[in-house]
């Protein structure tokens, strides 16, 4: 039996601006060193970060600039609700 490789760090970043688009859009994605850089930029700018391996796997299939597919609306809506609640708890400040 071979040793399994550790999972590669990966990220997908979304932007949701309901005035510009009806659905969140993929604005960055990457793995390994690029993933670490995307996370560092997010944290430097107070952008909330949430880990969800299943959702990541599905979002990673999207291309940069794509709106998320309708099949993922429910899962991403749950994520957005969590982030809006988190922002409220922080008095409108962004979470890191």
Alpha helices in 1-96 (DSSP H): 32-44, 53-59, 73-89
Task: Report whether pLDDT(15) > 70.
Answer: yes
Task: Report whether pLDDT(49) > 90.
Answer: no
The whole-number average pLDDT for the span 6-32 is 87
Task: Give a yes or no: residue 30 inside a domain.
Answer: yes
Task: Give a yes or no: residue 64 inside a domain.
Answer: yes
Output the domain CATH number for residue 23: 3.40.1690.10
* 79 or 25: which leads in pLDDT: 25
* 91 or 35: which leads in pLDDT: 35
Calculate the CA 72 to chain-centre distance.
12
Q: Which domain holds residue 69?
A: 10-89
The whole-number average pLDDT for the span 6-35 is 87
Q: How many domains does the chain have?
A: 1
Q: Looking at the whole model, is its pTM more than 0.95?
A: no
Residues 6+ apart with CB under 8 A from 77: none
- Please report the pLDDT score of residue 29 as a whole number: 95
């Amino acid at each position: 039996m071979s040793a399994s490789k550790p999972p590669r760090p990966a990220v997908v970043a979304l932007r949701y601006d309901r005035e510009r688009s009806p659905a969140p859009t993929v604005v960055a994605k990457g793995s390994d060193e690029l993933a670490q850089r995307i996370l560092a930029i997010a944290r430097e700018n107070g952008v909330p970060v949430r880990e969800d391996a299943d959702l990541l796997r599905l979002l990673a299939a999207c291309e940069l600039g794509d709106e998320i597919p309708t099949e993922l609306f429910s899962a991403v809506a749950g994520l957005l609700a969590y982030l809006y609640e988190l922002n409220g708890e922080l008095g409108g400040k962004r979470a890191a």
